[in-house]
Amino acid sequence: MRLTPRLSWLTSRISHLTLRLAWFFHSPACSKLVGMTEHYFSAHPDSTPHHRSLRVKLRDRDFEVTVSDGVFAGHRLDKGTEVLLNKVFLSTIEEGDIVLDLGCGWGPISLALGTEYPQAKLWAVDVNDRARHLTEKNLRHHGIDAFVAAPEQALTALGSQKIRLIWSNPPIRIGKEQLHDLLLTWLPLLADDGEAYLVVQKNLGADSLATWISQQGWDATKVRSSKGFRILRVAWPGNPLASEDA
């Protein structure tokens, strides 16, 4: 069959688009996009890991870390995490207190917690097994001991113990219902004098999240704002802010 000029042009465009899509699906950009999605929805990322070294500054200390596709902010230090680490208030932590990095990713918050509070028991939790592996690797590289676990394993190990401090850049994009379930699982485990610091982007609902947390019975206070992010302090009623500035 002889193709008309218009049909010939259309066939050529489809062929060109097919080649472009084939290139994209084998490109680093696609791998990165898949990795972002897997951070939220997959405990076992299917994308091929591409490990690389990265130098980062966490609370004015330099760290060399290993990062990879398939985890949250797998190629950089997330801006929200950076704001949390630079602006969070310090807490009075006793020997053996449990401090938790909730949603550890490749471990920047864990590294900061472990360095800031060497006297504490550091716990790092993430649903993503690749994230846990990277956190363990990065903590070990810097000589920091920690219990790194999946959520179910951590909850079982915690038993009747309580958590003194949580630092978290919670996964807002998993959806409101899932985020609420996450917080309703971990916030009740705070000690009577415990506190949680959460960093949330303002335009992704930081203020409404603070309101919702307060409605569940905790005190939720916006203690810092920077670069479009809020830092929320969450504590039981009657546990006033008595922390030192970062």
In a domain, residue 23? The reply is no
- pLDDT 10s digits, 25-71: 344 444 444 444 444 447 767 777 889 999 999 999 999 999 998 89
Which helix H or strand E contains 138, and what residues bound it? helix 129-141
Domain-embedded: residue 221: yes
Number of other CB atoms surrounding residue 37 within 10 Å: 13
| CATH code of residue 219 | 3.40.50.150
Nearest-angstrom CA–CA distance, 73 and 91? 27
User: How confident is the model over 83-93, as a mean pLDDT?
Assistant: 97
Average pLDDT of span 129-140: 97
Burial of 192 (0-12, 13-18, 19+ CB in 10 A): exposed
Stated pTM of the model: 0.82
44 falls within a domain: no
Please return the burial class of 11, using the count of CB atoms within 10 Å of its CB with bins 0-12, 13-18 and 19+. exposed
CA 41 to the chain's CA centroid: 13
Q: Count of domains in the chain?
A: 1
* Better-scored residue on pLDDT, 85 or 34: 85
Residue 28 lies inside a defined structural domain of this protein: no
| Residue 121, domain member (yes or no) | yes
The two structure tokens encoding residue 82: 């950076």
Which residue in 66, 213, 202 sits closest to 138, CA to CA? 66
Range of the domain at 119: 52-235
- Domain assignment present for residue 72? The answer is yes
Q: Phi, psi (5° rounding) for residue 188?
A: -65, -15
Instruction: Please check whether residue 122 is in contact with residue 110, taking contact to mean a CB–CB distance below 8 angstroms.
Output: yes
In the predicted structure, residue 117 carries a pLDDT above the cut 90: yes
Task: Please state, in angstroms and rounded to a whole number, the distance separating the CA atoms of residues 13 and 200.
Answer: 43
Q: Give tens-digit pLDDT for 210-223.
A: 999 999 999 999 99
Residue 33: its pLDDT value, please? 46
Q: Is 74 within a domain?
A: yes
Tokens of 73: 């902010």
Q: Does residue 27 lie within any of the structural domains?
A: no
Q: What is the pLDDT of residue 243?
A: 53
Q: Which residues pair with 227 in a beta bridge?
A: none
Cα 124 to Cα 149: distance, rounded to the nearest angstrom: 6
d(CA 111, CA 138): 8
Both tokens of 171, joined, read: 């996964």
